[in-house]
Homo-oligomer: A and B are copies of this chain.
Amino acid sequence: MSELEALRERLREFAAARDWEQYHSPKNLASALIVEAAELLEHFQWLTQQQSRALPPEKLREVEEEIADVLLYLVRLADLLGIDPIDAAHRKIARNEEKYPAHLVRGSADKR
């Protein structure tokens, strides 16, 4: 079992033990995911880009927890929809590699 499959299983048991599957519609989970993505962004909103590259340890631990929350909702949502996120991600990078050929877009700020 891969590492995302292990998370998926643990989340299934977590929801089942609490009878929370009823709340876990894809619609609700997509909302919960963006709420966590905002809690992640909140840590960076007033920082300079430089500061965002050098977070103090306490801040880093908080950011880590928000990254965890986003990943958990992402895995749960993908599970409900029958999507394999790793496969999907590799296919998406492959598309981006074609769409943005390195020799054409090198250093350009238009898309990255």
Contacts and interface: CB of A to CB of B under 8 A. Distances in A.
A41 B35 contact: yes
B18 A32 contact: no
- Residue in A15, A20, A93 whose Cβ sees the most chain B Cβ within 10 Å: A20
What is the oligomeric copy number?
A: 4
Interface string A12-34: 00110111101111111011111
Interface residues of A, number: 78
Interface of A: 2-4, 7, 10-11, 14-15, 17-20, 22-28, 30-35, 37-53, 55, 60, 63-65, 67-72, 74-75, 77-78, 80-81, 83, 85-86, 88-93, 96-97, 100, 102, 105-109, 112
